[in-house]
């Protein structure tokens, strides 16, 4: 293992791009974003019996043309965040500024035109495709909904899109069930791409796919990004997929971002104990490398978001927890340029073997 004190080159290059919010470099700016779901009981007089703090105060920016990865285990608030960003959900609190426009509380009627700029891709490709519609009508829907004129008609535009995502344009009249999972995901991507959005929020787009198909879709997303200057928010629970595709990564736990930085910082110099545990748990397809590395086995389960711990959300499973962790929530603070962590006792710990440290 290399020394943990060396600085990465990427942290110094980050200076030049900087976190200059408000400049042309930033596409999306999120401040204090919260989503709390009331839990109600009772049939006639619904009484609120609890509050799920699914997303509880997120701050981050997404730069034009980058892939911003959002990782964490199930229930930590990734999908809720994605749905807030694309305004499928209305925030409880906080701000979302897309392309200089505050879209946080726009009524749905006014959100629709913005959908041209931001689209979402989902984990289960089939459930997001209407089984009674042909591929042609699914992929062409955005043109009709947004009343967009296309050169040569919608059919031609759709066939070009199908070709772009690697589907046979002659399959225009087929139904979703006639396609495999990987192909259905391509259909979802074609639909999302139709109006040439600036931002694509991809919510676990490859999690349900087999490894060979997963690789096809990852490559496709990378090619499309290059061709159309797309910005991705890429949500996944698989840290190796996220590392492969992301420029910057935010690690979430119980509705909070606990660590955020350049991919290289997060993977080579992780500072938060939860990031350490996640990294040490990801299997590596090389027996010697996998079996030789350090393991951190967490005990217990993620606490219920209905009743989150006081102070640091990770303290109930953290082997480093002290009294202060129970009483004070650590703020997300910058520890190196562009590298933020929310922990009272951060520590640079090398957990994945790498030759390029």
Where do contacts with another protein occur on this chain (CB under 8 A)?
73-74, 180, 182-183, 210-216, 218-219, 222, 237-241, 243-245, 263, 267, 277-287, 289-291, 295, 297-298, 300-302, 352-356
Q: How far is the CB of 285 from another protein (least distance, A)?
A: 4
Q: How far is the CB of 300 from ligand ADP (least distance, A)?
A: 17
Task: Looking at residues 275 to 334 of the shown chain, list those that interact with ligand ADP (rule: CB under 6 A).
Answer: 305
The reply on whether position 320 binds ligand SF4 by CB under 6 A is: yes
Q: 24 contacts which partner out of Mg ion, ligand ADP, another protein, none, CB within 5 to 8 A by kind? A: none
Q: Which is nearer to ligand ADP, 60 or 143 (CB)?
A: 60
The reply on whether position 164 binds ligand SF4 by CB under 6 A is: no
Piece of the chain touching Mg ion by CB under 5 A; list 72-80, 150-158, 168-176, 266-274:
72-80
The reply on whether position 343 binds ligand SF4 by CB under 6 A is: yes
Task: Looking at residues 64 to 93 of the shown chain, list those that interact with ligand ADP (rule: CB under 6 A).
Answer: 72, 74-80
Instruction: Write a three-state SS string for the chain.
Output: CCCCCCCCHHHHHHHHHCCCCCCCCEEEEEEEEEEEEEEEECCCCCEEEEEEEEEEEEEEEEECCCEEEEECCCCCCHHHHHHHHCCCCCCCEEEEEECCEECCCCCHHHHHHHHHCEEEECCCCCCCCCCCCCHHHHHHHHHHHCCCCCCCHHHHHHHHHHHHCCCCHHHHHCCHHHCCHHHHHHHHHHHHHCCCCCEEEEECCCCCCCHHHHHHHHHHHHHHHHHHCCEEEEEECCHHHHHHHCCEEEEEECCEEEEEEEHHHHHHCCCCHHHHHHHHHCCCCCHHHHHHCCCCCCCCCCCCCCCCCCCCCCCCCCCCCCHHHHHCCCCCEEEECCEEECCCCCCCCCCCCCCCC
The reply on whether position 332 binds ligand SF4 by CB under 6 A is: no
Q: How far is the CB of 223 from another protein (least distance, A)?
A: 10
The reply on whether position 249 binds ligand ADP by CB under 6 A is: no
Q: Which is nearer to Mg ion, 79 or 159 (CB)?
A: 79
| Contact code string over 271-310 relative to ligand SF4, x by CB under 6 A | --x-------------------------------------
Beta bridge partners of 68: 233, 248
Q: Which is nearer to ligand ADP, 33 or 52 (CB)?
A: 52
Residues that bind ligand SF4 (CB under 6 A): 273, 312, 314-315, 318, 320-321, 325, 330, 343-345
């Amino acid at each position: 293992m290399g020394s943990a004190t060396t600085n990465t080159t990427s942290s110094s290059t980050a200076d030049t791009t900087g976190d200059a919010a408000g400049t042309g470099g930033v596409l999306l700016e999120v401040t204090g974003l919260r989503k709390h779901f009331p839990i109600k009981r009772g049939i006639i007089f619904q009484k609120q019996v609890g509050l799920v703090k699914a997303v509880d105060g997120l701050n981050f920016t997404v730069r034009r043309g980058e892939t911003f990865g959002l990782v964490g285990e199930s229930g930590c608030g990734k999908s809720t965040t994605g749905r807030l960003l694309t305004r499928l959900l209305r925030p409880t609190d906080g701000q979302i500024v897309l392309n200089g426009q505050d879209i946080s509380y726009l009524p749905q009627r006014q959100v629709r035109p913005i959908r041209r700029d931001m689209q979402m891709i989902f984990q289960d490709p089939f459930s997001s495709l209407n089984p009674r519609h042909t591929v042609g009508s699914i992929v062409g829907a955005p043109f009709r909904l947004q009343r967009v004129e296309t050169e040569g008609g919608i059919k031609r535009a759709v066939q070009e899109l199908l070709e772009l995502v690697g589907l046979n344009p002659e399959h225009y009249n087929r139904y979703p069930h006639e396609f495999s999972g990987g192909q259905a995901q391509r259909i979802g991507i074609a639909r999302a791409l139709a109006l040439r959005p600036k931002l694509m929020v991809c919510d676990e787009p490859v999690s349900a796919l087999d490894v060979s198909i997963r690789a096809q879709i990852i490559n496709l997303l990378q090619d499309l990004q290059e061709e159309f200057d797309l910005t991705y928010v890429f949500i996944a629970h698989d840290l190796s997929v996220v590392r492969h595709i992301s420029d910057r990564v935010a690690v979430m736990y119980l509705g909070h971002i606990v660590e955020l930085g350049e991919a290289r910082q997060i993977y080579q110099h992780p500072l938060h104990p939860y990031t350490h545990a996640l990294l040490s748990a990801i299997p590596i397809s090389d027996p010697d490398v996998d079996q030789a590395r350090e393991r951190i086995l967490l005990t217990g389960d993620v606490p219920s978001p209905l009743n989150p711990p006081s102070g640091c959300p990770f303290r109930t499973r953290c082997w480093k927890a002290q009294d202060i962790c129970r009483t004070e929530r650590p703020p997300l603070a910058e520890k190196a340029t562009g590298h933020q962590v929310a922990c009272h006792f951060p520590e640079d710990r090398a957990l994945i073997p790498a030759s390029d440290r």
